[in-house]
Amino acid sequence: MKEEENADIHGYEWKVQTCIRRIEKARFADEDKLLIKSYLKHVGAQGVSRGRVFKIAWTLLTLRRNIDCAFSGLPSSLRISE
């Protein structure tokens, strides 16, 4: 019964990994890539579902592609601490 509850019927694990590969190939600062990936790791460690992690990853990738401001330029009060 436990395996059925954790079954990834929507393929979120694959979607998350694909999105992370897109982040790694994206044409923006390596520091921003590191910030996005560390945030995804942080929310994953908090027990957030893989579907939600995918949505966050896709949203951050899309935002970073479409804005002129780098995430690395944000004030430290807006960053997560590791």
> From first to last of its 82 residues, what are the pLDDT tens digits of the chain?
455 557 889 999 999 999 999 999 999 999 999 999 999 999 999 999 999 999 999 999 999 999 888 887 777 666 665 5
The sign of the torsion formed by the CA atoms of 18, 24, 26, 30 equals positive
Q: What span, in angstroms and rounded, lies between the C-alpha atoms of 50 and 3?
A: 16
Tally DSSP H helices, then E strands, for the chain. 4, 0
Please tell me the pTM assigned to this model.
0.80
